[in-house]
Amino acid sequence: MTNEETGTLEKEIKKFELDIEGMDCPSCAMKIERRLNKLEGIHSAKVDLGSETASFAVLEGGPELSIIKDEIDKLGYKAIEQHVDEEDSAAEEEKLKARSAFRKKIYTSIFLSVIIVILGMKDHLEFLSFISMDAANWISLPLSTVVVFWCGAKFMKGFLADIRARSAGMDSLIAIGTLSAYFYSIVILIFPEISGEHHHTVYFESAAMIITFILLGNYLEFNLKNRTHYAIKALTELQAKRAVVLRNGSELEIPVRKVKVGDIVLVKPGERIPVDGVITEGISSIDESMMTGESLPLDKKTGDKVLGGTLNQNSYLKIKTEKAVSDSLLSKIILMVKDAQRSKPKIQRIADRVSEIFVPIVIVISIVTFFVWFSYIGETLSFSLLKAVAVLIIACPCALGLATPIAIVLGVGKAAEHKILFNNAEAIENVNRIDTILFDKTGTLTYGKFDVKKIIAYGQHTENEVLKIAASIENFSEHPIAKAITAEYRSNNVDMLQVSDFRMTSGIGVTGTIGGKSYMIGGANMKQAAKLAVSDRSSSQNIYLYENDILIGEIELSDRVKDNAADIISKLKHESYNIAMITGDSGVTAGEIAGELGITEYKAQVLPDKKQEYVSELQKKGARVAMIGDGINDAPALSKSDLGIAIGTGQDIAIQSADVILVKGDLENILALFKISRKTITVIKQNIFWAFFYNAAAIPVAAGVFVGIGISVTPVMASMIMALSDVVTVLLNSMRLKYLKIR
C-alpha cells in the first residue's frame, strides 16, 4: 500500500482481538501489554483487565497469531481467539474447556484443603486419635503440594513470568506468601528444632487455604464480571448468524459474514434482517426499536433502506446488500461499545501507575514486618513469618485494578441501552467537565424535515418553473432542504431537467448549469457570497434561485422545533449549563427559534469554519464546550469542542467527528448522557477510594500493629478478606450502574 502524500510504501495493518484467561490485577494486563508491544511487527497492543481482552494491530509480515498466543501463554495466561459465527465453535469449546478445568481445580482445592484443615485439628477430633501429629503433617505435605502447585499453578507461572520480566504483580504476592508458608512447613517438618517452639507448628493448611480462598474469589469475580457485559451480549444477539442469499438462481444458506455487497438476501416474516441494504422486492413493517429506540414499526417498500439487526414483521422481502456485515451499522455500534469499554480514562491510568509501584512497596513492607517482629521485638520465627505472609496476601491490589474498568464497562453498557454510544472512555470524564452546551439548529433543535411553504416567482418565470429548476439541481444533493424541494416537485411531476457542472459548497448552497444557463441556489449565505442583496420576505427559511446572477425565484420552507426541545433546554439551564445556539440560517430565523426555546445567546449565518472559530472563542474565555450537531457543516466544530455530541440520525462525517453519538436522535438522551456519565465517574471515585482505604487499613492490621489490643489477622483470614475485597468494594458497588434509573 502506497502513501499518496509521501509516495512511500506502507505496510498493511491487520487488527486482532484475543480473550485472555487468568488476569487478576492491573500488573497482569500491563505485563501482557508490554510483552506484545516488544514483539517485532506489532504496531500497537492494548490489554484490558475489565473485559479480559487483548486487542492489537499487526503489520504485514508480522508474527502469526499462533506465535502471539504462545507468548501470552508463556506469561502464565491463556489466549483464546475470538470468532463471529457458530461454525467457528472451536474458540467457544476452548473457553468452555478452560473454565471447566478452572472449576475442577477449585473443587480439588476445596476438597484437599478441607482434609488438610481436619488433619491439623486432629487433637480435637476423637475419630482421628489413631493418627499422630507427625503423621498428619506428613499426609498434609503431598495434599498441600497438589493445591499449591497444581490448583495454584497460574499464580506460580505468573510469579516466574514476573521474575523473567523483572516486575511484580498480584501473582508475585500470592506466590511468595504461599511458598513461604509451604517451604517453612517442610523445613520444620524435617528440622523441628529450628522453629524454637514446643509444638513445632506447620502451616500447610495456610498455604492450601490461601490458594483456595483466592481461587474462590477469582471465580466469584469472574461470574460478576461476566454479568457486566450484558450490553455487548444484547447487541450481539441482534446479529443474524446466517442468511439466505440468491445466487445463480438458487437459494443458498450461508454464514452472514460470507454475504457479499450486491448479494440479494431473502428475509421471511418474523426473521431478523441480516444486512444493511435496500429492498428490491416486497412491502413490510420493520421493527427498528432495538436499533433506534423508535417504538412504532416503520412501513418499508421497494427502494427503502433497511438495517441489519432489525425485525421483518409481516412480509417476504428481497434485499440488496449495500454493506459488508463488518461495515453494517450494528457492527459499528458493537465495535464502538467494545472500544469504549476497553479504553482507559485518565483516572484509570493514574490507578495503573499506582498499582505498578504498589506491589514492590508491599513486598518491602512485608520484609520489614518480618524483621521488626523477629529481630527487634523478638517473636518466634513462625509468628514473624505469618505476619509477613499476611501482609503479602491481604494487600493484593485487585480492587484497585478493577475500580475503573468494571465501572466503565457498566456505564458504557447502560448508555448503550439508551442508544448512547461513546467513542472512548475519556468522553465519560469529559462530560463531567462541561459547563457550556452549544447547539446546532437544523436537525438538532429542529426536526430538519422541511416542508415547502410557498414559492415566489420573479420576472417571466412561473412558480412551477422555479420549482422544476431548483428540484433538478437539488436532486444531486443529500441536504434536508434539497430533499424537501425535490419531494415537493416529485409529488406532482416525474421529469427532471438535465444538469451539468453541479457543485456544492458546504454552508453556502449549490450551483449547476441547465441549457447553457448558470444557476445558484442557496440561502442568506449564498446572497452574501455572491454579493446579491435581497431582503428576507419572512422569518422562515428562505431559499433563493438565481439565473445568471439574476433572482428568478424564492422558496419559503418551514422547519418545526422538536417537541421536547424547550423542556430539555430548560432542564439543562436549571442544572447551571450555559446554553448557546449556532446556525447557518438567517438572523431572523435563528432569533425566532432561539426565542421559542428560551435561548438568549445565539449566532446566525455562520459558515462551517466559523462554527469552529466560535467554539475556540468560547474556549479562550475559559468555557468547556460541548458541541451538539448532525451535519457535515458541524464536523469541524464537533472535532474542536471539548466534547462532540452527534445526533445519530445525522450524516456519517458528523458521527465520525464526535465523542458521543445519540443514535436515537432524541434530545432527552442528552439528559441521560449527563446523568450516566456523572454516576459512572462517581462510582469510579468511590471504587478507588474504597480500594485505597481497604489497603491503608488492612496492611497495618495484617502487620500486627494492633496485636496489643487483640486484633490480629492470620494468612488464611487475609486470603479470605483479599478474595472478597474486590467483590465487596468494587464489583457490587459498580453493579449499581446496571440498575441506574435514568428517568
Q: Which of 162, 276, 352, 440 is catalytic?
A: 440
DSSP class per residue in 238-281? HS-SEEEEEETTEEEEEEGGGPPTT-EEEE-TTPBP-S-EEEEE
Rg (CA), the chain: 33
Rounded Cα–Cα distance for residues 127 and 519 (Å): 105
Rounded Cα–Cα distance for residues 274 and 424 (Å): 27
Give the pairing of strands 509-514 and 517-522: antiparallel
Rounded Cα–Cα distance for residues 743 and 734 (Å): 20
Burial 80-109 (b: 16+ CB within 10 A, else e): bbeebbeeeeeeeebeeeeeeebeebbebb
Burial 481-500 (b: 16+ CB within 10 A, else e): bbbbbbebbeeeeeeeeebe
Catalytic site includes residue 440: yes
Rounded Cα–Cα distance for residues 97 and 32 (Å): 22
From the list 565, 663, 290, the residue with the least C-alpha distance to 655 is 663
Long-range contacts of 679-682 (CB under 8 A, 24+ apart): 679/411, 679/737, 679/740, 680/407, 680/408, 680/410, 680/411, 680/414, 680/428, 680/737, 681/347, 681/428, 681/429, 681/432
Give me 420's grid cell: 448512547
Q: How many CB atoms lie within 10 A of CB 435?
A: 14
Q: Looking up cell 480500594, which residue turns up?
A: 691
Rounded Cα–Cα distance for residues 180 and 172 (Å): 12
Residues designated catalytic: 440
